[in-house]
Amino acid sequence: MAYTSEDDQELLDRFMAQSRRAMRRLKEAEAAAGQVVGEGHSADGLIQVTADGQGHVTQIKLDPRVLRLDRPALGTTVLAAIQQAQADGERKSRKILGEALDETSALPAPLDESFVRDRVERVARELLGG
């Protein structure tokens, strides 16, 4: 089969299309990860915490009944709910980004000097009748 420059153009076009799709998918994943809400709560439901995908606490809701807890118990319970919300947000973000990375891992290897060398050698062989 004879080599044509259209073969390379088709390969490059396919490579560029795959690269654009991968970048678009990664940007979508980044945007989705930015919208993640992690949730945590105390066992009794009196404390509810939300955090974003980076672990930043975005909201703490305390039922007035938490005032019945002594200070050390309140602190421990709030801290546990915060950590739960942070872990939940991080897990959700990692899942989104991991799925996007899995989808983009099928990209072809980057074109390097061996690609060009192979093409030059192929054209030379065809020109020399070999």
Q: Does residue 72 lie in a domain region?
A: yes
* pLDDT on residue 4: 63
Q: Does residue 93 lie in a domain region?
A: yes
> Tens of pLDDT along 43-89?
999 999 999 988 999 999 999 999 999 999 999 999 999 999 999 99
> Tens of pLDDT along 82-130?
999 999 999 999 999 888 888 777 776 666 777 777 777 777 777 777 5
DSSP type of residue 109: P
* pLDDT on residue 118: 78
Locus of tokens 């959700």? 92
CATH number at 48 reads 3.30.1310.10
Q: Does residue 29 lie in a domain region?
A: yes
> Tens of pLDDT along 29-42?
889 988 999 999 99
Domain count, the chain: 1
Q: Does residue 110 lie in a domain region?
A: no
* pLDDT on residue 129: 72
Q: Does residue 116 lie in a domain region?
A: no
Q: What is the 3-state secondary structure (H, E, C) of 50-107?
A: EECCCCCEEEEEECHHHHHCCHHHHHHHHHHHHHHHHHHHHHHHHHHHHHHHHHHCCC
* pLDDT on residue 11: 77
Residue 39 host element (H or E): strand 38-41
Evaluate if residue 28 carries a pLDDT over 70. yes
Helix, strand, or coil here: 128?
coil
Containing structural domain, residue 64: 5-105
How far apart CA 130 and CA 125 sit, in angstroms, is 5
